[in-house]
């Protein structure tokens, strides 16, 4: 596993990569991509961050990372440890409902958007607003066309491997 | 001025209508529509809620409402009274940055989206996620096409008058 | 009714005074003081802000203010309009649980603490932390002794009338 | 290092223990206790959580844990990675100012209060309010006397070793 320390700012902090996507409404293809993204993030030695709930993209990504021994963080909307996916190592309980979406994106060096829904759209928009780099994977052209109008460049990846190469180049420049 | 009480739930609460839109990056047309929307909301006897900062759509809407004697609420990202627009009657200071976007939409019976930007996009998405009715006014087809894919019906108004008619029909049903 | 505009900063904003105290666990004496405080705040032309729930000090203060035609704001922990006291004019829904306690104190020019409990203690501490003036009314010496150790002066009022005189002198200096 | 998994609920989650205390105003004795607490928490195999800033109790506890190879989480009030202590492994950026105090306590299985100040008082009160177990170490009798009136039992430890024994017995029962 590669070293997970970044070279600037807090020299000790691990590199945390976020995966955002739909929960209960995720498609099978969304979950397959999320699982592979989680696996690849863990293999790079990065920490995986998701919304932490045991559904859809969040859960698949967490499972993918744990399957290869990665470290996982879940930022939960509730204040109850029981609401976290079993694949979360460190549950961060906010008790703040949807306001936790801001924490998800601020805490991620890079935000990967995998699939789409109303909550995911809020996270992609907040990531752009707060200056985080955003990579879309497997997202419909209607969605990427919209997010590309919000004043910041976005990245559109063909597949998980392509997304991880983009993360590497972005993290290398931070 | 009409009565501002709704008929169900908290029988005493005033009807609060939110206008969301870009701040510093708003266009002149966005601001013209926002000012007219604020004016019409105040004339209906509804309370106007915005993000409260002295810029763009927020500020124009607040000024439109105050010009005809309306009551205005601003939900500020900062914790400082000085950061509110002069047209805010009741500044609600959150000190929570972008997390206050959730408060904006939850506190609005109906959310009117006037113009577009990253922060506004997060508010539109959060409104859809939390079940608030959303009316778009003067928003590009690329944007409304995207938001119409998020699983809930949205309203696309031609102009401020049209938007207010939609608000009336929605509020009448709450 | 006196003018509710302050003289500095946002020249238009109304003066918002917060009353914090226990909900379901409030004593009858707490509620009596809260009702009188709400009444006096409304008579001064100030806006009353509380946690907005239909219990204890929050509810009594709101009722006291409404009884004499005051304007009331409730900052709710939930995201549901139905959870507000009937005496709230403007429900601000945060959906953030206890994190809304920060909004309560930041949005109040002066925080009046009426009674004590765990939630109220967090609000008194947050008010001191964020530089808001805090007036205690009818609070046990064990509590005021503690809060007076936190590095900022606090005010200990004998009764509601005394508290309102303190608010007036503080608001006059803002 | 002992196993950091708890036996119930999310069977995989690591046991996260929070240390709360003053930042810039911490005393040397506060910091000495915090460093020892952080060290002992790491040696137990638990994850240490603090407010994450490079000052006072937060920083000393984090350094104590890192010195023996522990894993550390910092919940930051800002949205900037640069604001985290160098001893934070996983910075959780909230951008929510003091509202992050709620996240600190909700995310901790047990909250250890080490030293006192206005921010720390809000965390102790929020911990009691949200049902987290709270252990005070090296806190003045005026403070523990106050917190013991808030309706829930609190623990008063003589020293760091005593506090860790209490954490062990509490975690064993969760």
Q: How far away is chain D from the Cα of C143, in angstroms, using its nearest Cα?
A: 6
Chain D contact for B80 (CB, 8 A cutoff): no
Per cent of chain A over pLDDT 90 is 90
pLDDT surpasses 80 at B1: no
Q: What is the mean pLDDT of residues B39-44?
A: 98
Q: What CA–CA distance (Å, rounded) separates A101 from D96?
A: 12
Q: How confident is the model at residue B10 (pLDDT cuts 50, 70, 90)?
A: low
8 Å CB contact of B125 and A121? yes
In the sheet that holds B72-76, the strands lie side by side as: B90-93, B72-76, B47-50, B16-20, B110-114, B133-137, B155-157
Dig out the tokens for B148 from the structure. 């119409």
8 Å CB contact of A95 and C98? yes
pLDDT surpasses 50 at B5: no
DSSP category for residue A13: P
Number of residues written out for chain A: 174
Give the model's pLDDT for residue B2.
Answer: 37
Nearest to B122 among A117, A126, A146 (CB): A126
Give the model's pLDDT for residue B42.
Answer: 98
Q: How confident is the model at residue D174 (pLDDT cuts 50, 70, 90)?
A: low
Q: How confident is the model at residue D10 (pLDDT cuts 50, 70, 90)?
A: low
Give the model's pLDDT for residue D12.
Answer: 79
Q: What is the mean pLDDT of residues D58-72?
A: 98
Give the model's pLDDT for residue D92.
Answer: 98
Chains C, D: CB contacts under 8 A, how many? Answer: 88
Give the model's pLDDT for residue A8.
Answer: 41
Q: Is B46 exposed, middle or buried (0-12, 13-18, 19+ CB in 10 A)?
A: buried
Q: How far away is chain D from the Cα of A79, in angstroms, using its nearest Cα?
A: 6
Q: What is the mean pLDDT of residues C16-23?
A: 98
Neighbours of chain C (3+ CB pairs under 8 A): A, B, D
Regarding beta strands A16-20 and A110-114, do their DSSP bridges make them parallel or antiparallel, or are they unpaired?
parallel
Contacts of D150 in chain C (CB under 8 A): 116-118, 121
Per cent of chain A over pLDDT 70 is 93
Contacts of A79 in chain C (CB under 8 A): 97
CA D109 to chain centre: 9
Per cent of chain D over pLDDT 90 is 91
Regarding beta strands C90-93 and D16-20, do their DSSP bridges make them parallel or antiparallel, or are they unpaired?
unpaired
Nearest to D151 among C96, C97, C117 (CB): C117
Neighbours of chain B (3+ CB pairs under 8 A): A, C, D
User: Which residue of chain D has the CA closest to C119?
Assistant: D129
pLDDT surpasses 70 at C8: no
Give the model's pLDDT for residue A2.
Answer: 37
The answer to whether B93 touches B53, Cβ cutoff 8 Å, is no
Per cent of chain C over pLDDT 90 is 90
Q: How confident is the model at residue A1 (pLDDT cuts 50, 70, 90)?
A: very low
The β-bridge partners of C112 are C19, C135
- φ, ψ of residue B144 to 5 degrees: the values are -65, -35
Chain C contact for A5 (CB, 8 A cutoff): no
Contacts of A95 in chain C (CB under 8 A): 96-99
Per-residue pLDDT tens for C116-148?
999 999 999 999 999 999 999 999 999 999 999
Give the model's pLDDT for residue D3.
Answer: 41
Per-residue pLDDT tens for D83-138?
999 999 999 999 999 999 999 999 999 999 999 999 999 999 999 999 999 999 99
Q: What CA–CA distance (Å, rounded) separates C40 from C48?
A: 10
Answering whether pTM is above 0.90, one says yes
Rounded to a whole number of angstroms, the distance between the first and last alpha carbons of chain C is 20
8 Å CB contact of A106 and D93? yes
Q: How confident is the model at residue A12 (pLDDT cuts 50, 70, 90)?
A: confident
Per-residue pLDDT tens for B115-141?
999 999 999 999 999 999 999 999 999
Q: What is the mean pLDDT of residues D69-88?
A: 98
Q: How confident is the model at residue D6 (pLDDT cuts 50, 70, 90)?
A: very low
Q: Is B24 exposed, middle or buried (0-12, 13-18, 19+ CB in 10 A)?
A: exposed
Q: How confident is the model at residue A174 (pLDDT cuts 50, 70, 90)?
A: low
Per-residue pLDDT tens for C81-121?
999 999 999 999 999 999 999 999 999 999 999 999 999 99
Q: How confident is the model at residue A6 (pLDDT cuts 50, 70, 90)?
A: very low
Give the model's pLDDT for residue B12.
Answer: 79
User: Which residue of chain A has the CA closest to B124?
Assistant: A122
8 Å CB contact of D130 and C98? yes
Q: What CA–CA distance (Å, rounded) separates D89 from D110?
A: 20
Per-residue pLDDT tens for B63-76?
999 999 999 999 99
Give the model's pLDDT for residue C12.
Answer: 79
8 Å CB contact of A129 and B140? no
8 Å CB contact of C79 and A95? no
Pick from B68-72, B170-174, C9-13: least confident = C9-13
Give the model's pLDDT for residue B50.
Answer: 98
Tokens 């139905």 label which residue?
C82
Give the model's pLDDT for residue C7.
Answer: 39
Dig out the tokens for A147 from the structure. 């997010």
């Amino acid at each position: 596993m590669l070293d997970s320390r970044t070279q600037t700012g807090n020299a000790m902090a691990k590199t945390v990569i976020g995966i955002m996507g739909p929960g209960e409404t995720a498609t099978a293809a969304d979950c397959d991509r999320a699982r592979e993204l989680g696996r690849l993030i863990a293999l790079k030695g990065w920490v995986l961050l998701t919304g932490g709930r045991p559904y859809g993209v969040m859960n698949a990504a967490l499972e993918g990372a744990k399957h290869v021994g990665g470290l996982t963080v879940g930022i939960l909307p509730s204040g109850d440890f029981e609401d976290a996916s079993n694949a979360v190592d460190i549950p961060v309980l906010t008790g703040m409902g949807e306001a936790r979406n801001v924490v998800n994106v601020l805490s991620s060096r890079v935000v990967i958007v995998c699939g789409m829904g109303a909550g995911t759209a809020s996270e992609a928009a907040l990531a752009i607003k707060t200056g985080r780099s955003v990579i879309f994977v497997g997202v419909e052209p209607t969605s990427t066309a919209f997010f590309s109008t919000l004043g910041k460049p976005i990245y559109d990846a063909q597949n998980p491997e392509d997304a991880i190469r983009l993360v590497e180049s972005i993290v290398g420049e931070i």
